[in-house]
Structure 1
């Protein structure tokens, strides 16, 4: 009987750990980074420039593209409006969708930081990581970029 009890305990611990990890992933903050207003780590260039790790897919059709980028486990999203000319992002606007005051504040800081990081960059070179204290919102932006690339290349 003690062996059976041990297996049950191990299984319960595994469930508990999994639930805790899933709970952590659903938030938009990292301890110690929620108050940081600066853009950090967005690829290989300093101060949050675009990453060179994305693969080339262009050319893309010039125009203005508006999509929602989704992220996290609770259906979080942000609106992303990108203008493309010759595969270069010439304008970018992010619209926060959060209703919780903490998340809304983080999304607003993210939205304020994004244009300086992506305007003037080739869309295939942009992949955001951590920006203005946000560790999850950039995933929503990256999701939106993939949707825009698909639409701009006729693959939507």
Structure 2
């Protein structure tokens, strides 16, 4: 019986070490090159702005994300609530984070142009899981500013 208790303790300790090791492998802004890209560009059912009207025009905002005070700039043009043009500006100074932001910025126009601003909610894009949080935060700021 004593051996069984020791084995359970060893297994629990191994699981704890593996979990800690995996957590330590993640990067500061939650971007992971080993994970596939996926995107969700659909309306958020919980969003109070799902039926808002927006003023046409050009808007810009910086969206912050992550625990390292990371941010990304978003400039877009709205026409009848539809994103007709978008530009994403990387702000990262760290080489790795900058790479994620640049790949993200390159991918975004194909994902959001021609879509209703209310339908845009990005997930993981170009291997980046943290940067979309900054993008989504900037979109929320723009929605508030553009609300008619």
TM-score over 0.5 for the pair: yes
Q: Which SS does the other structure have where 1:130 is aligned?
A: coil
Structure 1: how far apart are the matches of 2:30 and 2:85?
A: 25
Unaligned runs of 5+ in 1: 1-12, 44-49
Matches within 5 A, 1:78-89: 78-89=72-83
Displacement of 1:27 in angstroms is 2.8
Q: Does 1:42 align with 2:42?
A: no
Q: 1:51 aligns with which of 27, 42, 54?
A: 42
Q: Deviations over 1:47-85 (max 9, x none)?
A: xxx223354142101110011010001110001001000
Structure 1: how far apart are the matches of 2:43 and 2:79?
A: 19
Provide the TM-score with structure 1 as the length reference: 0.73
Instruction: Name the residue aligned to 1:73.
Output: 67
Instruction: Name the residue aligned to 1:26.
Output: 28
Kept in 2, the 8 Å contact 1:113–1:132? The answer is yes
Kept in 2, the 8 Å contact 1:42–1:130? The answer is yes
Kept in 2, the 8 Å contact 1:25–1:72? The answer is no
Kept in 1, the 8 Å contact 2:52–2:147? The answer is yes
Q: CA RMSD in A?
A: 2.3
Unaligned runs of 5+ in 2: 1-15
Provide the TM-score with structure 2 as the length reference: 0.76
Q: Deviations over 1:4-40 (max 9, x none)?
A: xxxxxxxxx9xxx7xx96994733422513xx6xxx3
Q: Which SS does the other structure have where 2:106 is aligned?
A: helix
